[in-house]
Amino acid sequence: MLNYKNLSEQDGEVMAIVQRETVRQVEEMELIASENYVSKAILEAMATVLTNKYSEGFPGHRYYGGNQFVDEVETIAVERAKKLFSAEHVNVQPLSGSPANAAVYMAFLKPGDKVLGLRLDHGGHLSHGHPVNFSGMLYDFTQYEVDITTGQINMEKVREIALREKPKMIVAGYSAYSREIEWQKFKEIADEVGAFTFADIAHTAGLIAAREMNNPTPIFDVVSTTTHKTLRGPRGAMIMCKEQFAKQVDRAVFPGMQGGPHDHITAAKAVCFGEALQPGFKIYAKQVIANAKLMAEEFIKLGYKIISGGTDNHLMVVDMTSKGLSGKEAEIILDKCGISVSRSTIPNDPNPPMNPSGVRFGTPAITTRGMKQEEIKKIVVWINAAIEQREEPEMLENIKKQVKNMCLEFPIPSI
Ligand SMILES: *Cc1c(COP(=O)(O)O)cnc(C)c1O
């Protein structure tokens, strides 16, 4: 762990909270699909004096003096990201996934333009056209869905909608979808109707970087991703695109959307991309997927329904209604056992979004701790026991103890 000597001396109130959160992370199990643990090196990069700098502009073209070293670190981040995703152009300045998507839309569209995106309750993201989000307010989104029987995206249906709506852009890439995406088919449909192709790989970027899932970057016009999910870097995002769109994408990020980049986070992104280029990261990504596949199989054996029937990536959405409870109730019960999960809608969910029918499980964080097949089997047994015997407080207490013991055996890398 970093030495927090000054923080504890100066502000015990904040330090005490950080300490409690540290203990929570150490002793509890993280199955939220969008979370992960950064390395010590990444944590240190985020805690550098680069946070003191203003650097509006891009390497070699800044609106402030004294940027020679920030230029160097941003250039390294860009070059590593290009290599990692076989990208022609990369902008590493977006502050997070949603602002990155705002910049992508700004770069390619005018307010009111027609766009296709997956419905939120079918696995899409708020920033893919939901009415409460800027994307749904500013652009004219039509939402496509997953097939109700297969739980998968039906490309013929997507094509029908595209031919009917004639969108200017098609968005693919999701937050709660467990299957490989047919990037090439999306591209063919987009070409047929003259639409731009936008892949949002926020969730799967690490698996794609490791080439354990198909990479849309060489196929699509523009790709956005967060850096803090399976990619296992600092909280942030980036945009990759074909060289021909480089200028408009850069201009949309700055001055379009943002002011100064967060240079300490840029440094941490560079370290993250460096880690992801190492052979060990491929082993990690393979294990994330193997763990998720096994977890889905074990759930199915116990009678749980998985949306789409399984997983090709790091996550799965489990329909809890067959066990007589909602996703929110399952989330609360598992919280009592020291297991963090996120409730999730299922396609055409009869229940409201605050109390949906599903739970989303993910393996990126526990795989970073080093958990493998043997642990996955135990974890699913505990989850099932907690759900089936949810009325028995001693049972939940007992599971919490076992969860804690396992977590203590698998330390978090930065602690
Ligand atoms: C997580 C996610 C985002 C948003 O990222 P934030 O950093 O939370 O703004 C965007 N798109 C998809 C598909 C995501 O899963």
CATH number for the domain including 222? 3.40.640.10
- Per residue in 234-246, pLDDT (tens digit) is 999 999 999 999 9
Residue 187 lies in a domain: yes
- Cβ atoms of 171 and 187 within 8 Å: the answer is no
Question: Among the atoms of ligand 1, which is closest to the Cα of residue 237?
Answer: 7
Half-sphere exposure of 242 (CA within 13 A, CB side): 12
pLDDT at 71: 98
Is the pLDDT reported for residue 196 higher than 80? yes
Residue 2 lies in a domain: no
pLDDT at 51: 98
Residue 43 lies in a domain: no
The residue assigned the tokens 């200028």 is 247
Residue nearest to atom 6 of ligand 1 (CA): 97
Q: Distance, CA 126 to ligand 1 centroid (Å)?
A: 8
Pair (310, 388) in one structural domain: yes
Pair (267, 296) in one structural domain: no
Separation CA 129–CA 140 (nearest Å)? 8
Is the pLDDT reported for residue 2 higher than 80? no
Q: Distance, CA 301 to ligand 1 centroid (Å)?
A: 32
- Per residue in 104-118, pLDDT (tens digit) is 999 999 999 999 999
Pair (402, 261) in one structural domain: no
Is the pLDDT reported for residue 306 higher than 80? yes
Pair (86, 120) in one structural domain: yes
Q: Distance, CA 347 to ligand 1 centroid (Å)?
A: 19
- Report the pLDDT averaged over residues 348-367: 95
Separation CA 240–CA 209 (nearest Å)? 13
The angle that helices 373-388 and 393-409 make with each other, rounded to 10 degrees, is 160
pLDDT at 274: 98
Residue 385 lies in a domain: yes
- Report the pLDDT averaged over residues 334-354: 94
How much is the pTM?
0.97
CATH number for the domain including 25? 3.90.1150.10
Residue 84 lies in a domain: yes
SS (H, E, C) the chain: CCCCHHHHHHCHHHHHHHHHHHHHHHHCEECCCCCCCCCHHHHHHHCCHHHHCCCCEECCEECCCCCHHHHHHHHHHHHHHHHHHCCCEEECCCCCHHHHHHHHHHHHCCCCCEEEEECHHHCCCHHHCCCCCHHHHHCEEEEECECCCCCCECHHHHHHHHHHHCCCEEEECCCCCCCCCCHHHHHHHHHHHCCEEEEECCCCHHHHHCCCCCCCCCCCCEEEEECCCCCCCCCCEEEEECHHHHHHHHHHHHHHHCCCCCHHHHHHHHHHHHHHCCHHHHHHHHHHHHHHHHHHHHHHHCCCEEHHHCCCCCEEEEECHHHCCCHHHHHHHHHHCCEECEEECCCCCCCCCCCCCEEEEECHHHHHCCCCHHHHHHHHHHHHHHHHCCCCHHHHHHHHHHHHHHHHHCCCCCC
Residue nearest to atom 1 of ligand 1 (CA): 202
Query: What is the set of active-site residues?
Result: 54, 56, 200, 226, 229, 235
Pair (161, 308) in one structural domain: no
Residue 108 lies in a domain: yes
pLDDT classification of 414: cutoffs 50, 70, 90: confident
Pair (72, 180) in one structural domain: yes
Pair (347, 231) in one structural domain: no
Pair (105, 82) in one structural domain: yes
Residue 26 lies in a domain: yes
Separation CA 118–CA 145 (nearest Å)? 6
Q: Distance, CA 266 to ligand 1 centroid (Å)?
A: 18
The mean of the pLDDT values for the chain is 97
Pair (148, 32) in one structural domain: no
Q: Please identify, among 215, 243, 276, the residue that sits at the C-terminal boundary of a domain.
A: 276
- Report the pLDDT averaged over residues 46-72: 97
- Per residue in 140-191, pLDDT (tens digit) is 999 999 999 999 999 999 999 999 999 999 999 999 999 999 999 999 999 9
Q: Please identify, among 230, 255, 276, the residue that sits at the C-terminal boundary of a domain.
A: 276
Residues 6 or more apart whose CB falls under 8 angstroms from that of 219 comprise 183, 184, 187, 197
Closest CA to 184 of 169, 172, 201, 168: 172
Residue 281 lies in a domain: no
Question: Among the atoms of ligand 1, which is closest to the Cα of residue 201?
Answer: 13
Separation CA 59–CA 57 (nearest Å)? 7
The first and second tokens of residue 301, run together, are 């054996």
Is the pLDDT reported for residue 1 higher than 80? no
Question: Among the atoms of ligand 1, which is closest to the Cα of residue 128?
Answer: 11
The long-range contacts involving 46-52, CB below 8 angstroms and separated by at least 24 positions, are 46/234, 46/264, 46/265, 46/267, 46/268, 47/2, 47/264, 48/264, 48/267, 49/264, 50/263, 50/264, 50/266, 50/267, 51/262, 51/263, 51/264
* Burial state string for 361-381 with b = 16 or more CB within 10 A and e = fewer than 16: bbbbbbbbbebeeebbeebbe
Residue nearest to atom 4 of ligand 1 (CA): 97
pLDDT at 353: 84
Q: Distance, CA 88 to ligand 1 centroid (Å)?
A: 23
Chain-centre distance for alpha carbon 216:
16
Closest CA to 371 of 269, 295, 319, 300: 295
Residue nearest to atom 5 of ligand 1 (CA): 97
Pair (262, 306) in one structural domain: no
Q: Please identify, among 215, 247, 276, the residue that sits at the C-terminal boundary of a domain.
A: 276
Is the pLDDT reported for residue 17 higher than 90? yes
Closest CA to 158 of 171, 174, 176: 171
Ligand 1, pocket-test mutation among 175, 178, 265, most atoms within 8 A of CB = 175
- Domains in the chain: how many in total? 2
Pair (261, 309) in one structural domain: no
Q: Distance, CA 271 to ligand 1 centroid (Å)?
A: 21
- Report the pLDDT averaged over residues 337-348: 96
Is the pLDDT reported for residue 315 higher than 80? yes
The residue segments making up the domain with residue 211 are 48-276
Residue nearest to atom 3 of ligand 1 (CA): 97
Residues with CB under 6 A from ligand 1: 34, 96-98, 101, 125, 127, 173-175, 200, 202-203, 226, 237
Pair (264, 309) in one structural domain: no
